[in-house]
Amino acid sequence: MAVRFDPFAPGPSDPYPTYRELRDHAPVHWSPEREVFSVTRYDDVMQVLKNPELFSSRAMFTMLMAGGSEKLPPLSWGMVSFLAKMFVKTRLNPFEFHTARNLIAEDGDRHSQMRAIVNRGFTPRRIQAWEPRAREIVAECVAPLREGRPFDLVHDLAVPLPVTIIAEMIGIPAERHADFKRWSDLVIEMATGPGREDRFAKRYADAFVELLTYFRALARDRRASPQDDLISTIVAGQVGDVGLTDREVVQFVLLLLVAGNETTTNLIGNVVKALLEHPEQAEKVAANPSLIPALVEEGLRYDTPVQVVFRTATEDTEIRGVPIAKGRFVAAFLGSANRDERRFPEPDRLDVERNPQGFPGFGFGKHFCLGASLARLEACAAFEALAPEIPSLGLGQEGVEHIASFLVRGPKRLLLKRAA
């Protein structure tokens, strides 16, 4: 049975029935229009993630940052104006874009060395130190809910919590946090949503110039006078004997910005939505808060915030008997692996007592999410405050609209109201 599937179509409100069809009838699906193999079964996704020598992360650059191709797109007025504006305003070399080192898209030693630069900012001790701050932010954010005022979970809690923390970790002053979120949303829209077809549009160029100029100035400032923050750690970082260029520093900060907030926001939104749809599970957690860490894991499995990662085959190989030629792109659907009935019994049911060992919600192996402990800490702080409230809450809106992205999955807004 042929299954029609476009791995780059902005996520439908419920992608899970399509994933099931793919797993059953086309587990290694070739999309001729996109020239991508999509793998959707747990075992196949893990085979890809466990073999970084055979499946390179370079595809994370090609697919997410370069619009799907290593080749330069045909010259257009929009592109020339975008590059010229970028160079004139930021002085960052546009031709370094394809060669600059980028943690998420590196392999082997270069990846380990890049990761070592920021690892020390993410040790368990360092992350644990953020717990009181996370609790403080949550308490401020949920006050309107407790006072019975209108409350959009996404806008009022799931966005400000991770944005504030990652901004403070990077070393960005509080008054810029709103810009931070706006920039990061635009990056997601341009790289993985409707903006992908129009990457050189003025609105993206303007935002990129603004954010690159800001980060570059910040990097220069910290090179001159280091502080106890991530941007100072990054500017001081070496790969082998070579420090990072301004462009690499700026891209590193941008990665932390986007990865550090778009994901956790969606985790919190997805889990609350799931609990509203599974009231018996919400009751269980409210009655027994020690289940909160398990809720976070099961929530990540049930409705995965990062749906897919990309890899490039480094030599001719095969998956489930399907030949994959050297250079071909593979999309490994984490969101589908986590719902694979071959691995998780009754996968479409949220079950806070499931203990879904080995699920790839944060990826797997060398590129396992750098911020996993931070995301868990933030989510636990949020659910400690929300869990007692949820059984008496309902959805105060018609239906739930999701972010238009093939990469990240989460509700755009989630109005909560007290059940009558």
Which positions touch ligand HEM (CB under 6 A)?
57, 60, 103-104, 115, 166, 255-256, 259-260, 263-264, 267, 305-306, 309, 334, 361-363, 367, 369-371, 374-375
Choice between 134 and 205, CB closer to ligand HEM:
134
Q: Which residues contact 118 (CB under 8 A, 6 or more apart)?
A: 103, 230, 233, 234, 237, 252, 256, 370
Residue 130 or 344: the one with the smaller Cβ distance to ligand HEM is: 130
Least spacing, CB of residue 84 vs ligand HEM, in Å:
30
d(CA 162, CA 179): 14
Distance, CA of 390 to CA of 401 (rounded, Å): 20
CA angle 332/335/337 to nearest 5° reads 65
Give me the least distance between CB of 122 and ligand HEM, in Å please: 7
Q: How far is the CB of 220 from ligand HEM (least distance, A)?
A: 22
Backbone angles phi, psi at 69, to 5 degrees: -145, 145
Of residues 57 and 86, the one with the C-beta less far from ligand HEM: 57
Q: Which residues pair with 319 in a beta bridge?
A: 322
Q: State the nearest-atom distance from the C-beta of 75 to ligand HEM, in Å.
A: 31
Q: For ligand HEM, which residue has the nearest CB?
A: 371
The nearer residue to ligand HEM, 51 or 93, going by C-beta atoms, is 51
Least gap, CB of 8 to ligand HEM (angstroms): 17
**In the bound complex, what is the minimum distance in angstroms from residue 308's beta carbon to ligand HEM?**
9
Shortest spacing between CB 87 and ligand HEM, in angstroms:
27
User: Among residues 146, 139, 143, 189, which one has the least CA distance to residue 161?
Assistant: 139
Among residues 118 and 282, whose Cβ is nearest to ligand HEM?
Answer: 118
Contacts of 201 by beta carbon, 8 Å cutoff, 6+ apart: 78, 195
Q: Which is nearer to ligand HEM, 156 or 378 (CB)?
A: 378
H or E element, residue 283: helix 279-287
Task: At 208, list the tokens.
Answer: 């990129």
Please, which residue, 103 or 234, has the CB nearer to ligand HEM?
103
What is the full DSSP assignment across 151-177? EEHIIIIITHHHHHHHHHHHT--GGGH
